[in-house]
Amino acid sequence: MKTTLPTHTTPDANSIVKDPKKSGDGGVEIITTSLSHAINMARKHSLWPMPMGISCCAIEMMAVAGSRFDIARFGAEVFRFSPRQADLMIVAGTLTHKMAPVVRRVYDQMPEPKWVIAMGACLITGGMFDSYPVVQGLDHIVPVDVYVPGCPPRPEGVLWALMQVQKKAQESGKIYPVSRALDYKPDMPLQPVPTDEKPTKEKTMILNMGPQHPSTHGVLRLVLEIDGEDIVKAYPHVGYLHRGFEKIAEHRTYHQFIPYTDRLDYLAPLSNNIAYAMAIEKLMDIEITDRNKHIRTMCCELSRISGHLLSLGTFAMDVGAMSVFFHTFQQREYIYNLQESLTGTRMTTSYSRIGGLARDLPEGWTDQLKVFLDGVSKVIDEVEQLLNKNPIWVDRLADICVIDEEMCISYGLTGPMLRAAGVPYDLRKEHPYLAYDQFDFDIPVGTKGDSYDRYLVRLLEMRESVKILKQAADRVPGGPLNSDLPGVILPEKEKVYSSMEELICHFKTISGGFSPKPGQSYCSIESPKGEIGFYAVSDGGPNAWRLRIKSPSFTNLQVLSEILPGNKIADVVTAVASIDPVMGESDR
């Protein structure tokens, strides 16, 4: 049987290349696609994000660069900290009225086309901060393309938002798409950020660093007077993340304020919860159980390792040792797994309760903790091998920004800053609290008080925390978790579901809170940054009459104006990283 082959005909030229005048907005179409489609496909897979990390959500945004989530899979690993090199701004955290003009100015400097991701509840509606300093949504100042809900959202949320932006880029159908920026006017006044400092010498100039600079570890602004590469004077500016914590406490019940403490030092939320709960327990003369003390101690040390891991990773990245960041962030993911198993969430834990804890240890949790401790010990060894004798690392840190014992005491510095100067002061030893008097551990101290000593002290403190946690994991006491405090401690869930009396007690405790007797108390603990304390005054009502927070980051930052002059511009990065501030805690 004869088979007839299909006739091959040469297509007309017009079927391949159409008349540009008759084609769509994409321009000339070639073979199987249009030029606009090809360009937008390339644009979709090569977004250049500019992270604008303002507060808590920034930590989860940073996590997408780690090995667990790996944003490189989505073609967006090229983070650009210059707006003129970025086409995607990821704003993460709480936007204040003081910070809003900075965000808008940076956004205006980005070239077209450009997109914006708003990460977190605070950038959608103001979140939990219905206070005077906070802008109630990012869309009040810039157009937003994708909102990521959560407080904070998980890193998966950032990746989802990135895919939504990729769809927008692909579907624009234009070679030169234009954002809404040209006709999108802020609906609130944006006052320009003033620079009141003037040069004090004839040949010097004023240089602004921050509050959007990646190496200021948050929204810290430094105004530097420089002579070439030399710093003549330094003026630290804070307040770009002022959210009104202390005033909010006057309008929340004692239990309702616990989630706000998560957002102070958001790298160590468990420590913040515990310090606040201890202050209120002292106000009410509440004695917590041995099991409670023991678990709280483990939470504090887990927070210390978590905070120091991030400090070490970002410190190394600031100075140029990028690989250390990936090592430390991988270990922080293991800590987040433990925290999520214990508290129900990765980051903002709200785990403590007045007189108790939200829930007991899950089955097998201490075994998971031991596995993590073995792994993190090996990573600390690797980091030491990478950095301790690395000539570049040592040259960048040794004898840089020395803070001696006298300066520490005069400024009231605490934590690793003080111990690096050779002062062995640690609240866990000087004024033991919780179960610290039951464990064997040492207090690392430095000799010079320079940036290298501050690095070493934090490194050694992680080893001591591992030592404490290993002891604690082997001898968790039995007995009740929470104190017997009806009207303060919520009844057990099983009883709430089966007893009307317990249900009424639960409702009244949640809705009305409890009222301590009139009085005042102060309680502090040794947080990863230093001494964090809460001073509470009760007038007999269900919320604090006054609440004041002693934050180590605020105290430690004061010293910058004294240690920076005489150093180079490059040393500013080293100095800030060695202080390790968290601006949520500093600005309060």
- Residue 444 pLDDT: 92
Burial label, 520 (beta-carbon count in 10 A; 0-12, 13-18, 19+) = middle
Whether 41-183 and 245-587 share one fold: the answer is no
- How confident is the model at residue 18, as a pLDDT? 45
CB-hemisphere CA count at 13 Å for 439? 28
pLDDT score recorded for residue 33: 64
Domain ranges of the chain: 41-183, 245-587
- Strand, helix or coil at 206? strand
CATH class of 245-587: mainly alpha
pTM: 0.87
- Phi (first) and psi of residue 229, to 5 degrees: -95, -5
Strand 221-227 to 530-538 pairing: unpaired
- Please give the Cα distance from 154 to 160 (Å, whole number): 10
* DSSP class of 85: G
Q: Which CATH number applies to 41-183: 3.90.440.10, 3.40.1280.10, 3.40.50.12280, 1.50.10.10? A: 3.40.50.12280
pLDDT at 26: 54
Coil, strand or helix: which one is 115?
A: strand
Mean pLDDT by 10 residues, the chain (588 residues): 44 44 52 70 80 86 81 79 87 90 90 88 88 90 90 88 85 72 81 84 87 82 90 90 90 90 88 92 91 93 92 88 86 91 88 89 92 92 90 89 90 91 90 91 90 92 93 90 84 84 84 88 92 92 92 90 90 90 85
What is the C-alpha separation between 151 and 126, in angstroms, rounded? 11
